[in-house]
Amino acid sequence: MAVGIFDSGLGGLTVLDAAQTRLPDVDFLYFGDSAHAPYGVRDADDVYNLTRAAVQHLWDRGCDLVILACNTASAAALRRMQEEGLPDGKRVLGVFVPLIEALTERQWGDNSPPREVAVKHVALFATPATVASRAFQRELAFRAIGVDVEAQACGGVVDAIEEGDSILAEALVRSHVDALKRKMPEPQAAILGCTHYPLMQDAFKKALGSEVKVFSQAELVAESLADYLGRHPNMLGSGQAGFLTTGDAARVSDRATQLLRRQITFEAA
């Protein structure tokens, strides 16, 4: 029995790693669409179509519950998929809500009206597609009022991470943080709004300074998933654990092994 985890590439491995730590008795089937990565520079319809096809593949493999461990997919595809209707017994969850619940200090599933929160100035670092969607601001408005969000599109960071070029990725992070600070000199909190970015969390923290609280998604999503499965144990499905990719399986396996520092073997999807 496995829960599906989908990402455009390797960034979702940060969510997978945290979920396996939090839920050691749950199996996971990971799907990385590396052949079409990165999603962050694609238009909304393209992201939707690619995400829909990947989720369908995981459903076909027996995963009743699929986590979109990709902010771009969550921003551009999740609401549309839910509005168009999901098959009976199938669910798709995104990664924005657990992050916003933590930022606004709400309990999991708290659907009370929006209210004032302590943090007033928030920096959002995300892919160009996620920034353009304004999905983070929309979801935040359901839960909090009076919060100023300054978004910075971080072009190139995902590509550098996927290519294993940490020097370039760090340089890009510093550049994007500098650009954000020109617009919002003193953010109180920073959101790493891409599941690739936790791999560069130290670089973000160094560039932002110790006074800025950095919110990363992996552990928050894992905790939210644990809560969801506690309430819906029937959503474990019948799928088998493993790793699937639309890219070069050997190359993706090597990169994943480097990122997680343990042997990861992908198969062709």
Residues designated as active site: 70, 194
d(CA 264, CA 258): 9
Three-class DSSP category at 260: helix
* Position 33, amino acid: D
d(CA 33, CA 249): 11
d(CA 214, CA 204): 8
Phi first, then psi, for residue 93 (nearest 5°) are -120, 150
DSSP secondary structure of 142-180? TTEES-EEEEEE-TTHHHHHHHT-HHHHHHHHHHHHHHH
* Position 211, amino acid: E
Cα 178–194–4 angle (5° rounding)? 170
What does the DSSP 8-state code read for residue 245?
E
Distances (CA, A) of 53 to 64, 81, 95, 105, 267: 15, 11, 19, 35, 17
